[in-house]
Every structure is written in C-alpha cells, then in structure tokens.
Amino acid sequence: MSMLGEARVREIEAKAEAIRETIIEMLTAAGSGHTAGPMGMADIFAALYFHILKHNPLNPEWDERDRLFLSNGHTVPVRYAAMAHAGYFPLTECLTLRKFGSRLQGHPERLRLPGLESTSGPLGEGLSQAAGYALGARMDGKRFRVFCMMSDGEQDAGNIWEAAMFAGNNKLSNLTAIIDRNNIQIGGLTESVMPLENLRQKYEAFNWHVLEVDGHDIAQIVEAVETARAIVERPTVIIARTIPGKGIKEMEYDYLWHGKSPTKDEAKRFLNELRTLGGTITSEHQ
C-alpha cells in the first residue's frame, strides 16, 4: 500500500475520522466558523501531525521542530483538532473555539497558543512568511523543514505569486507547500470566481517541483512529502485534491458550507453519519 504499511495507514485514517468529529463538535459549540475546508483537510492534518512533522507536543517550542504555516487561517479548526488529538492541549479545550479569552481564536494567533508558527487571517500571506522563514533557516544552517498549507481560493492573491517567485529564485528546497484543491471559495466555485488552471504549469514556471495527490489518501500524501524531501535546488508544492465537507454527504461539494457552522440538530445528524461511515474506527470521543 505504501512505505507506511497498511496498519499504520489505518491508524492515521482513524485519527482523521476523530479529527472530523472534533471539528463538528467545536464549530457547533462556537456557533460560527468555517466547516467545509477543515473537514476536507482532516486527512492531510492527520498525516502531518501523526507521521510527517518532526514535533513534540510536550515541548512546542523545540528548536529543531518542523515549522508549519497555515496560510488559510480560517480553516484553523482542523489544526486545533489535530493538535488536541496529538496531545498539545486537552480535547475539551476545543469547545472554547471562538469564545472570548480562548486560546483557540477563529483565526490562529501565534502568541496565544504554543505550537503555532504564525498569526494568519488575510489570505495570501502564508507563503511569503514560510518562504522567508525557509531562507532564514538555510542561512542559519538549520535542518528542519518548513511547510505551508494554502487554500486554492487564495491563489487569486498576487502576494502568493510574489512568494512563489521568491522561493523558486532562491531554490528553497527546504520548503514544501500544500494546496487544498477543493475547488470552492466563499463566493462559489473557484473556476467560476477566478479560474486557476493550469495550476501545475503556473508553479512549474516559477521553478517549483509540482506533485499532485488525492488529499484523502494517506499513503499518497506521505509519499509526496517524502519525494519533496529528495528534491534539491527547488521548492515543492503538493496539489492535494480534496472534497470540501468530506464525510458529510449533505455538505460535500457545497460551497455554502465554506463559512458556516452546523446547528445542534445538524451536528447530531452529522456525527451519527461520521460514526456510521467510520465503521470499526473508534473515536476518542466515544
């Protein structure tokens, strides 16, 4: 199946399902927030926090940790959920999302929660931050890797392409970007609002190595990141094709779920659906 082995892949898939349940619970408790994107990115974040990233939940500021920049900050519920399941803070704290005084704000705030590398909100900034950090790390002789998670909709932003040009020009092979290619943004389908294709050719034109994967296939995600580690003289971007709202049929592919949260009745129905589809997968909430 992959270099991971089937059993390990199943473990990470189970984490992704648990993350999805937590996302529904925390957004329902908050009464606001973004749902479709985080649900679609659960497999990627499970792979990151439970296999790919070099990190330590007990020492979030460990100097040798890999750095993960979340450019599309509105999707941060998936990162909070992954961090909680990884042991950065108790799962119960997820229910404080967007509450006054909470460490878990609707967009990540670096100084509030250990383990976050940046404060993000305005789209299009994350790749610039990550590229600058990657260049600094190389200048300092650091061996950790820098990752940047982006949405496809924010590829509309000019700042993204300035950063892409900068990273390609500086041959930042310690930088791996991942694009959540779910084809929706808050105003509709990406190809209707502002067509992005051919996205591969655009990044290749800026001297990036481009990989494309199924963003719900743990083995493909891990294999792509391992390939990126072997690329020299170029940064790598992984275009991960995902289903917005993954796991909830009523939500999948519906751009209207980009920026709204479930009601209590919807949440009950959605959680039942997730647990039914999960089969033998045991959630940490059960």
Q: Which percentage of the chain shows pLDDT scores above 90?
A: 93
Does the pLDDT value for residue 160 go beyond 50? Answer: yes
Torsion of CA 227, 230, 232, 234, to 10 degrees: 20
Is pLDDT of 281 > 80?
A: no
233-to-21, 126, 238 alpha-carbon distances in Å:
40, 21, 16
Q: Which of 233, 231, 255, 234 is nearest to 243 (CA)?
A: 255
- Cα 246 to Cα 8, 119, 125, 171, 264, distances in angstroms: 21, 26, 26, 35, 19
Alpha-carbon torsion (76, 81, 87, 93), positive or negative = positive
What domains, with CATH codes, occur in the chain? 6-277 (3.40.50.970)
> Is the pLDDT confidence value at 280 over 80?
no
Mean local confidence (pLDDT), 116-123:
91
pLDDT at 285 over 50: no
Query: Hey, which residues does 147 pair with through a beta bridge?
Result: 68, 176
Distance CA 40, CA 50 (A): 17
pTM of the predicted structure, to 2 decimals: 0.94
pLDDT by residue (tens digit) across 54-107? 999 999 999 999 999 999 999 999 999 999 999 999 999 999 999 999 999 999
